Amino acid sequence: MNEELYQKGMATRRKVLGEAHIAKRQASDDVYTRQQNELVTEVAWGTIWSRPQLPLKVRSLVTLGMLAALNRPDETKGHIAGALNNGATPEEIVEVFVQSAAYCGFPASNTCVRLCVEVFKERGLI
């Protein structure tokens, strides 16, 4: 593991997803999930998410579109919260999923909008 990239990734991951998310991931820290979390933190967060070419808000919105396309609701809810943390508005986030209906299908879009409602309610936004 590259410690510098890991620490850079952890800082970005905390900024985007928040301390509660990090604590939850570390609470299930067995040898297998620890290895996976280190890899994700180093590569995805330390190498890719930390690149300066796109602002975090844009990265979040792009990621939400890709998660809709891949139909990954298990990851989507956390990234909706992350997009809010990065300055995206609820309207911008929902619009990503409205747009995804044309390319990913309504079932994926519907699921994502329902997840938005859950996160927005948890945050007191609706």
The count of other CB atoms within 10 Å of the CB of residue 75 is 13
pLDDT category at 111 given cuts 50, 70, 90 is: very high
pLDDT at 114 over 90: yes
Same domain as 119, residue 68: yes
Give the phi and the psi of residue 125 in degrees, each rounded to 5: -90, -20
pLDDT at 28 over 80: no
Instruction: Please give the residue that has the higher pLDDT: either 35 or 63.
Output: 63
The mean pLDDT value for 84-99 works out to 98
The mean pLDDT value for 116-125 works out to 98
Helix (DSSP H) and strand (DSSP E) numbers for the chain: 7, 0
Same domain as 121, residue 74: yes
Residue 59 in contact with residue 97, Cβ under 8 Å? no
pLDDT at position 21: 85
- Token duo for residue 99: 């747009």
pLDDT category at 24 given cuts 50, 70, 90 is: confident
Q: Which residue has the tokens 């990090």?
A: 22
Residue 41 in contact with residue 6, Cβ under 8 Å? yes
Burial of residue 107 (CB within 10 Å: 0-12, 13-18, 19+) is exposed
DSSP state of 87: T
pTM recorded for the entire structure: 0.92
pLDDT at position 44: 97
Domain assignment of residue 91, given as a range:
54-126
| Number of domains, the chain | 2
Residue 61 maps to which CATH number? 1.20.1290.10
Same domain as 85, residue 26: no
